[in-house]
Amino acid sequence: MFSVLLLAQAAVAQNPGSRPEILEAMRADIAAERHESDGGGRAWLEESQSDMEVVAGGVGNWKLIYEAGEHGIPEGGMLFFQLSPFWGWSTPRFAQEAATRPGSTQITVHSEGVGWEAETIDQQLMVIRFTKGGLKKSDRVVLNYTGLADRYSEQSQAFWFSVDGDGDGIRALVRDTKLEVKVLPRDAVGMHLVLPTAAEPGDTVRMHVSYLDATGNLALGSFGDIFFDLPTGIEFSGPISLHAGSGGVDLVVSQEGVYTVKGVGPAGEATSNPMVVRKGVENILWADLQVHTALSDGTGSLDEVYHYARNVAGLDAVCITDHDHWGMKFLDQNPEMWESVKTASEKWNEPGRFVAFLGYEWTNWVSGHRHVLFPGTEGVPWSSADEKWDTPQELWEEVKKVGGITIAHHSAGGPVPTDWRIPPDPDCEPITEIVSVHGSSESADTPGRIYSAIKGNYVRDALGRGYQLGFIGSTDGHDGHPGLSQLAGASGGLAAIITKDKTRKGILKALRERRCYATNGPRIGLRFQLGDASMGGFVQKGDEELKLICRVIGTDAIDYVDIIHNEKLAQRVDGKGKSLFFFDLQVPAMNAGDFVYLRVLQKDGGAAWSSPIFCK
């Protein structure tokens, strides 16, 4: 993944699970001097294949040509062939003869008297070493690669070449390339319907309708008429036909109630998430605030990901958070990439309809990963690899200047845990991402616990330290499917934000006030009140019992609701298999520093976590 293969001595870990050796390798790569031949030359797909299309997860065959640049590749130098290291491309393996086995790669070196050897050195990565002689300017290496494609569709998937001209272990990407192929979705296997979670009588609401394939890709094409089974209280004149796989329907809601809509069409059927219609209902916006694209280690262009977020997943808000220094090319070293992120966020941001935040991920391998949300277009990707911004405190100083926020994620483990010994800055970090594709960081007894969890480093432990954090979920998705990563994995993540103000300013205000909750993907409606306080709020220390109000609008039958008081499970309430589950009960008086939150689990594994209510 990096343009250097250096062995770095591990520094003393600042927290269990940290990976300082990665940071040291990144810094060594940045500081390393490049040989004049490093990254030289050009590469392309054979002309007849330059627009080749392959079905996601299908087998393709490509002829790739590398031509040496001005300085060639001297004896002892190396040429690297890299498939995207994300989401299923077959690892290239040298084959003497043509073969159909995925990964088989024939190599022809068009240079007289040159000796070479090929070796697979990592997933999706092959090296060709020039052991006798070397390539001169314009000499060519031809690769015939047969492999399985990425399982996620995108309009432009790149292959990569890099050159270490002097064999010192430091390589650079070949920039002059035409190596993009189109990965197409598979056939539709089902329909997806998305309704708002809350509406008032008389509202006109938008229902998003899409056809998806088995891994959640938007299936393209025209699919004929779709018919809807509408309950009394919802009006629409149909049917509709979908073009390009997705569309929308305007529905008028006239009566109070809890509604779902069923759709039936030639490529499948589906039932929407529930929608509560009631005068004065608390409004919920759904957001995915951590999404990666092909700019770093994800799938799809900026426009593809925004389109999916708004028109397929039916999200109200999204933040694309590509890494500062991770992937094939780096955001912190390519200003034009950051400009494209800024331009796309402005293009897609439509206050009142769809909110697109500018953001990025501060990918710190010592104190933990955080993503940054900017309130507008001001801000730069302060790099975690730069000594000026390599601690959370240094990052927060910059974020304060522009009025943004940071969000720690996969904090209990996963790729790297958060160092909770560093208190989150309350002005910059009012919330934490409790669940994502990596799993849940809530607690040791959480449903869908994150892998490689560190004992004592869960979010509940952080609350026990006195940190007043609200909860959100987000996908941390790399599949090009913001808001719906759970369709092709064990977990996803969504942020439910309680506000009617569908603007950057309004959403950030709600997040700062912790008026939000988390789910692992499904649009579970949740209301939690303790005394006079709602999610993220405060109650006063006192001697009186408090009334706890819980309202759950499930997407499946509720298994149970847990009441977490401080760092313990205080009570488990049986959901009795109901999808609409309401209860009130009295809880003991609270002491200063206490916190209470709810954890909801459905029979199908869907889960939700309320933001805590704290005691002053």
- Find the angle CA(607)-CA(471)-CA(196) to the nearest 5 degrees: 60
Structural domain includes residue 16: no
pLDDT of 552 over the 60 cut = yes
CA distance 157 to 155: 7
- Cα–Cα distance measured from residue 169 to residue 37, given in angstroms and rounded to the nearest whole number: 13
Report yes or no on 359 lying in a domain.
Answer: yes
The position carrying tokens 């999404």 is 291
The pLDDT of residue 51? 61
pLDDT value at position 15? 79
pLDDT in tens, 185-241: 999 999 999 999 999 999 999 999 999 999 999 998 777 888 899 999 999 866 676
Q: Among 230, 262, 277, identify where a domain stops.
A: 277
Q: Rounded to an integer, what distance in angstroms lies between the CA atom of residue 448 and that of residue 183?
A: 31
Evaluate whether residue 321 is within a structural domain.
Answer: yes
Contact 371, 360 (CB under 8 A): yes
SS3 content of the chain, % helix, strand, coil (to 5): 10, 40, 50
HEC profile of 159-223: CEEEEECCCCCECEECCEEECEEEEECCCCCEEEEECCCEECCCCEEEEEEEEECCCCCECCCCC
Q: Which residues contact 304 (CB under 8 A, 6 or more apart)?
A: 154, 155, 293, 480
Asked if residue 604 and residue 581 are part of one domain, the reply reads: yes
Asked whether residue 478 falls in the same domain as residue 338, the answer is yes
In a domain, 468, yes or no: yes
Q: Is the distance from CB of 290 to CB of 319 less than 8 angstroms?
A: yes
Query: Residue 3 falls within a domain, yes or no?
Result: no
Q: What is the rounded CA–CA span in Å between residue 461 and residue 420?
A: 9
Asked if residue 154 lies in contact with residue 302, where contact means CB atoms within 8 angstroms, the answer is no
Residues 213 and 331 in one domain: no
Asked if residue 421 lies in contact with residue 431, where contact means CB atoms within 8 angstroms, the answer is: no
> CB atoms < 10 A from the CB of 137, how many?
12
Chosen domain end from 228, 259, 277 = 277
Over residues 10-51, the pLDDT tens digits come to 334 467 899 999 999 999 999 999 999 999 999 999 977 656
What would you report as the CA-atom Rg of the chain, rounded to the nearest whole angstrom?
26
Q: Are residues 260 and 382 in the same domain?
A: no
| Cβ atoms of 171 and 39 closer than 8 Å | yes
Residues near 30 by beta carbon (within 8 Å), at least 6 away in sequence = 333, 385
Range of the domain at 478: 284-521
Structure token digits, residue 136: 């001169």
> Are 342 and 487 within one domain?
yes
* Of residues 377, 379, 436, 386, the one with CA closest to residue 407: 436
How many helices and strands in the chain, by DSSP H and E?
Answer: 6, 46
Over residues 241-268, the mean pLDDT reads 89
Kindly state the DSSP code that residue 434 receives in the 8-state scheme: E
Neighbours of 567 (CB within 10 A): 12
| 441 close to 455: Cβ distance less than 8 angstroms | no
Mark whether 215 and 71 lie in a shared domain. no
pLDDT of residue 153: 95
Amino acid identity for residue 328 in this structure: M
Beta strands in 69-139 (DSSP E): 78-82, 93-94, 104-110, 115-122, 125-132
- CA nearest 123: which of 93, 165, 158? 93
Retrieve residue 147's tokens.
Answer: 């492999």
Q: Taking all residues of the chain, what is their mean pLDDT, rounded to a whole number?
A: 94
472-484 pLDDT per residue, tens: 999 999 999 999 9
What does each C-alpha distance from 217 to 20, 104, 190, 392, 492 come to in angstroms?
36, 27, 11, 36, 15
For the record, the structure tokens of 11 come out as 């520094």
88 within a domain of the structure (yes/no): yes
Identify the CATH number of the domain in which residue 327 sits. 3.20.20.140
Residue 612's Cβ-side half-sphere holds a number of Cα atoms within 13 Å equal to: 26
**What is the amino acid identity at position 229?**
D
3-state secondary structure of 118: strand
SS (H, E, C) 240-259: EECECCEEEEEEEECCCEEE
Q: Do residues 312 and 216 share a domain?
A: no
| Torsion over CA: 13, 19, 25, 26 (sign) | negative
The pLDDT score that the predictor gives to residue 238 is 67
Indicate whether 369 and 403 sit together in one domain.
Answer: yes
534 and 478 part of one domain:
no
Binned at pLDDT 50, 70 and 90, residue 4 comes out as: very low
Domain boundary among 129, 154, 184: 184
| CATH number, residue 558 | 2.60.40.10
Q: Where residue 6 falls among pLDDT bands split at 50, 70, 90?
A: very low
Rounded CA-CA distance 497/315 in Å is 11
Q: What is the pLDDT of residue 1?
A: 36
Is pLDDT of 3 > 90? Answer: no
Asked if 258 and 247 sit in the same domain, the reply is: yes
- Residues near 437 by Cβ (< 8 Å), separated by ≥ 6? 475, 476, 477, 478, 485, 486, 489, 491, 492, 493
Cβ proximity of 29 and 4 under 8 Å: yes
Same domain, 431 and 567: no
- pLDDT bin (cut points 50, 70, 90) of residue 463 is very high
Token representation of residue 223: 């699919």
Residue 182 CB contacts under 8 Å (≥ 6 apart), including other chains = 51, 52, 53, 54, 154, 155, 156, 157
Q: Are 407 and 370 in contact (CB under 8 A)?
A: yes
User: Which residues touch 52 (CB under 8 Å, ≥6 apart)?
Assistant: 45, 60, 62, 181, 182
pLDDT of amino acid 49: 63
Assess whether 43 and 154 both reside in one domain.
yes
Lowest mean pLDDT among 83-92, 180-189, 379-388, 389-398: 83-92
d(CA 283, CA 252): 17
Decide if 405 is inside a domain: yes
Total number of domains in the chain: 4
For residues 328 and 252, give the distance between their C-alpha atoms in angstroms, rounded to a whole number.
47
Chain mean position to CA 419: 21
The answer, yes or no, to whether residue 9 has pLDDT greater than 80, is no
Kindly report, residue by residue over 277-290, the tens digit of the pLDDT.
999 999 999 999 99
Say which range, 243-257, 364-378, 564-578, has the weakest mean pLDDT. Answer: 243-257
pLDDT of residue 206: 94
**101, part of any domain:** yes
Rounded distance, CA 525 to CA 517, Å?
Answer: 10
Question: Between 6 and 522, where is the model more confident?
Answer: 522
Q: Is the predicted pLDDT of residue 267 greater than 90, yes or no?
A: no
> Dihedral of the CA atoms 162, 164, 170, 172 (nearest 10)?
-30
**Model confidence at 84: pLDDT above 60:** yes
Q: Is the pLDDT of residue 425 over 70?
A: yes
Q: What is the pLDDT of residue 14?
A: 63
Which residues 6+ apart lie within 8 Å of 93 measured at CB?
103, 104, 105, 120, 126
